[in-house]
């Protein structure tokens, strides 16, 4: 099997592919592939390992319907037209589970950084403003005993909730379509309506998938129902929040601040007002960016490719073929 990889793959997964006899070609240029370039490359290969943010739409799939598998180096698959992949018989796989802890740790970091104005305080040092100290200046807010709201209490949200309970004794509420009985039993989590989640959360952390139902859900209507002291955290997908509304909500004091590992659009422009707000912490979508996690993801993506090559069931298939 010959596969095309849209980035340089972490070494653990690459070694697995090479040991299995897979012929690997990696895109090594320091720029993204255009849609047409990706089509042209993939027409020469049996499989695609997608490690970039390219959109896999119907047009791509129709031109590359020969692909035996598309293996995503991610848990999210919102950039793939799954319905078209099902229709055309192209299996798509992802890498669930292995990035839960790393992504939750990033959300935890952003929550804490926003609560203590950490990124803003660091910039003050760089600007030479670490001088006269005032007891009432640049105060943050404490997290001990506060209420953590989780929208999308799956594996990542569970770890985030676990961290917050252990570190700060936070009360956990959540909004899901169904119950998370493990979180209710082990963390004392309480399932609430979306409106209750907005009204009661001191920190509201988003860990749901991007779907037509979740896109833009956090807009001015939602922010207006939150506490003025609330922190909004999004380590899921940027399109879940309306960035203009988020900017206005913080500027107008409707909510306290935000911690973002994802933005809308990505990458964020350097003149975005959020980057200069004292109570905002922004990271460039690094949720899974630890050596251990990325190697584990690459191994899982490689396993999906190797299973396809051997004609075995795909371990992490998101299509319903």
**Which ranges constitute the DSSP H helices of 73-213?**
82-88, 100-115, 118-126, 155-168, 181-187, 194-200
Tell me the C-alpha distance between 87 and 321, whole Å: 9
Say how far residue 217 (Cα) sits from the centre of its chain. 16
Please identify which of the residues 163, 207, 285, 294 carries the catalytic annotation.
285
Q: Crossing angle of helices 291-310/100-115, nearest 10°?
A: 150
Please identify which of the residues 18, 266, 276, 292 carries the catalytic annotation.
266
Quick check: is 7 catalytic? no
Q: Tell me 146's DSSP state.
A: -
Quick check: is 266 catalytic? yes
CA dihedral 110, 112, 114, 120 (to 10 degrees): -100
Helix H or strand E segment including 264: none
Are 246 and 262 within 8 A, CB to CB?
Answer: no
Quick check: is 122 catalytic? no
Q: Tell me 51's DSSP state.
A: -
Say how far residue 191 (Cα) sits from the centre of its chain. 22
Please identify which of the residues 116, 207, 237, 294 carries the catalytic annotation.
237
Task: Please give the positions annotated as active site.
Answer: 237, 266, 285
């Amino acid at each position: 099997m010959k596969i095309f990889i849209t980035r340089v793959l972490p070494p653990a997964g690459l070694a697995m592919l090479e040991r299995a006899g897979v012929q690997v070609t990696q895109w090594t240029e320091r720029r993204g592939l255009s849609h047409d370039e990706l089509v042209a490359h993939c027409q020469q290969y049996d499989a695609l390992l997608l490690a970039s943010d390219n959109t896999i739409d119907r047009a791509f799939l129709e031109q590359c319907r020969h692909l035996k598998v598309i293996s995503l180096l991610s848990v999210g698959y919102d950039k793939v037209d799954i319905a078209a992949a099902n229709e055309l018989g192209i299996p798509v796989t992802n890498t669930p589970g292995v990035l839960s802890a790393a992504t939750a740790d990033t959300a935890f970091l952003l929550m804490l950084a926003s609560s203590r104005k950490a990124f803003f305080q660091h910039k003050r040092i760089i600007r030479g403003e670490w001088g006269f100290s005032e007891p009432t200046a640049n105060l943050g807010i404490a997290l001990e005993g506060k209420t953590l709201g989780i929208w999308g209490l799956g594996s990542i949200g569970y770890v985030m909730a676990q961290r917050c309970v252990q570190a700060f004794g936070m009360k956990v509420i959540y909004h899901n379509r169904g119950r998370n009985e493990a979180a209710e039993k082990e963390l004392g989590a309480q399932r609430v309506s979306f409106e209750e989640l907005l009204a009661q959360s001191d920190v509201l952390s988003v860990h749901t998938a991007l779907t037509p139902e979740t896109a833009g859900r956090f807009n001015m209507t939602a922010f207006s129902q939150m506490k003025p002291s609330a922190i909004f955290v999004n380590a899921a997908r940027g399109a879940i929040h309306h960035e203009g509304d988020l900017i206005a909500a913080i500027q107008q004091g409707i909510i306290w601040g935000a911690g973002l590992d994802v933005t809308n659009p990505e990458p964020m422009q350097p003149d975005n007002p959020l980057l200069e707000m004292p109570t905002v912490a922004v990271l460039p979508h690094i949720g899974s960016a630890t050596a251990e996690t990325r190697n584990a993801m690459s191994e899982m993506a490689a396993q999906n490719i190797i299973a396809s090559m051997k004609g075995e069931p795909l371990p992490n298939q998101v299509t319903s073929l």
